[in-house]
């Protein structure tokens, strides 16, 4: 460094130099982000989220249950980097990234991280974007419908604990189907008053006809596989099949989010057997969606997770939980329908998955996230 250069640098405060350095780093990083301006348009888009599902959850499930996984037959496999603005993420911030293309604060549901935006602007979620393009929409989860993941695809609020508010927003969301475990925060009268048929078991589910709006409030363990589920309850795979069947009647196509919520729940409690059963049930649902996409030819499927839970590691020749909380481990990302987003082995940031799905919905989508002014 020359004497003059050294003199100039000594006058610049450290923080400024650090900011300039980070700007260069981010510019370089943006160069490796996938280009998504010439991408293929899909009629139907399905995102399937295994909540808490890391790479080792798949290995553990395969080893302990002696199964192979349909998701691993998908042609493209990469990874998603899930950390939130500050640290390892929760399901709210993780799903906000996947639903809105925005990295937000822990507990934030479909909101920007900056307080100034939270009071006047919110990011549009993929469900709302699909609705604006005339597509049918659906949300299916083994969780309560006010859980963080379904909430981020159907509501906006600064804290995932505002469950009454999330349920109230869902009741007027006009999303064609919202199917989940029964929620004590959902006012069934209000849901029905907004034109929804409420179903609580498999028989009622199967009686639903296309073109009707429905709210599933199932009373049993819909996270289970067909071997252990109660006979009057649908599996996640059956819910997926029925949801696609109903939404596919729309000639403008559909957007569908499916969540296997219990992979996370049983990872928090370190219950290996239940966790691997939840992985298998989720994978059965993936198989159902893949079978449809292969026949349909106009469907994009993304399978991923919002974050890893349980810090599963190989110990000897067994996969074991090492914590009861979330970790910062990257999570698997599978793509069916195109190799334009990622190629095998590539990593993306979680929010780029939402950006990619948004752009895949149609030429008219020029940017994502989309800021929406909040009406009072």
Please report, as ranges, the residues that interact with Zn ion according to CB under 5 A: 264, 309
Residue whose beta carbon is closest to Zn ion: 264
Task: Report in angstroms the alpha-carbon separations of 143 from 101, 210, 292.
Answer: 22, 24, 24
Q: Smallest distance, Å, CB 80 to Zn ion?
A: 16
Q: Smallest distance, Å, CB 147 to Zn ion?
A: 10
Q: Smallest distance, Å, CB 265 to Zn ion?
A: 7
- The two beta strands, 213-218 and 196-199, are parallel
Q: In the complex with Zn ion, which residue's Cβ is closer, 52 or 101?
A: 52
Q: Smallest distance, Å, CB 325 to Zn ion?
A: 8
Q: In the complex with Zn ion, which residue's Cβ is closer, 246 or 261?
A: 261
Q: In the complex with Zn ion, which residue's Cβ is closer, 80 or 173?
A: 80
C-alpha 146/C-alpha 150 separation (Å) is 7
CA nearest neighbour of 48 among 189, 150, 170? 150
233-236 own/partner pairs: CB under 8 Å, 24+ apart: 233/201, 233/202, 234/202, 234/205, 235/281, 235/284, 235/285, 236/140, 236/142, 236/260, 236/281, 236/282, 236/284, 236/285
Across 77-88, b (16+ Cβ under 10 Å) vs e yields: bbbbbbbbeeeb
Q: Smallest distance, Å, CB 6 to Zn ion?
A: 50
DSSP codes, 189-220:
HHHHHTTEEEE-SHHHHHT--TTSEEEEEE-S
Contact criterion met (CB below 8 Å) for 323 and 311 = yes
For residue 369, how many C-alpha atoms fall within 13 Å in the half-sphere facing its CB? 22
C-alpha 90/C-alpha 160 separation (Å) is 10
Q: Smallest distance, Å, CB 148 to Zn ion?
A: 8
62: alpha, beta or left? (left if phi > 0; alpha if psi -120 to 50): alpha
Q: In the complex with Zn ion, which residue's Cβ is closer, 162 or 214?
A: 162
Q: In the complex with Zn ion, which residue's Cβ is closer, 186 or 327?
A: 327
Q: In the complex with Zn ion, which residue's Cβ is closer, 106 or 247?
A: 106
Contact criterion met (CB below 8 Å) for 147 and 157 = no
Q: In the complex with Zn ion, which residue's Cβ is closer, 238 or 264?
A: 264
Q: In the complex with Zn ion, which residue's Cβ is closer, 170 or 309?
A: 309
Q: Smallest distance, Å, CB 204 to Zn ion?
A: 30
Q: Smallest distance, Å, CB 307 to Zn ion?
A: 7
Contact criterion met (CB below 8 Å) for 91 and 51 = yes
Q: Return the C-alpha torsion angle 202, 182, 172, 103, nearest 10.
A: -110
Can you say how many angstroms the Cα of residue 63 is from the centroid of all Cα atoms in its chain? 26
Q: In the complex with Zn ion, which residue's Cβ is closer, 76 or 257?
A: 257
Q: Smallest distance, Å, CB 276 to Zn ion?
A: 17
């Amino acid at each position: 460094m020359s004497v003059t250069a050294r003199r100039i640098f000594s006058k610049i405060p450290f923080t400024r130099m650090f900011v300039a350095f980070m700007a260069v780093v981010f510019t370089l990083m943006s160069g490796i982000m996938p280009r998504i301006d010439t991408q293929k348009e899909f009629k139907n888009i399905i995102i399937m989220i295994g909540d808490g599902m890391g790479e080792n959850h798949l290995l553990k499930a395969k080893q302990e249950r002696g199964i192979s996984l349909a998701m691993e037959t998908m042609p493209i496999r990469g990874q998603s980097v899930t950390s939130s603005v500050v640290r390892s993420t929760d399901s709210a911030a993780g799903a906000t990234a996947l639903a809105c293309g925005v990295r937000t604060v822990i507990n934030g549901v479909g909101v920007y991280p900056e307080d100034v935006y939270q009071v006047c602007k919110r990011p549009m979620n993929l469900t709302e974007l699909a609705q604006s393009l005339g597509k049918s929409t659906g949300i299916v989860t083994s969780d309560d419908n006010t859980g963080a993941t379904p909430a981020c695809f159907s509501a906006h609020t600064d804290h995932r604990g505002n469950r009454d508010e999330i349920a109230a927003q869902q009741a007027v969301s006009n999303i064609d189907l919202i199917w989940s475990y029964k929620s004590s925060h959902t006012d069934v009268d209000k849901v029905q008053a907004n034109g929804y048929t409420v179903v609580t078991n498999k028989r009622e589910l199967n009686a639903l006809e296309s073109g009707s709006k429905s709210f599933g409030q199932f009373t049993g363990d819909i996270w289970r596989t067909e071997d252990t589920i109660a006979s009057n309850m649908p599996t996640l795979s059956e819910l997926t099949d029925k949801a696609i069947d109903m939404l596919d009647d729309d000639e403008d196509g559909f957007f569908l989010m499916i969540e296997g919520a219990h992979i996370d729940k049983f990872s928090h409690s370190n219950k290996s057997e239940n966790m691997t059963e939840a992985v298998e049930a989720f994978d059965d649902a993936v198989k159902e969606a893949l079978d449809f996409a292969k026949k349909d030819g106009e469907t994009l499927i993304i399978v991923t997770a919002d974050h890893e839970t349980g810090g599963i590691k190989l110990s000897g020749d067994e996969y074991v939980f090492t914590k009861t909380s979330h970790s910062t481990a990257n999570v698997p990302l599978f793509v069916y329908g195109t190799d334009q987003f990622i190629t095998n082995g590539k990593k993306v940031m979680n929010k780029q998955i939402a950006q990619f799905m948004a752009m895949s919905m149609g030429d008219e989508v020029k940017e994502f996230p989309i800021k929406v002014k909040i009406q009072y």
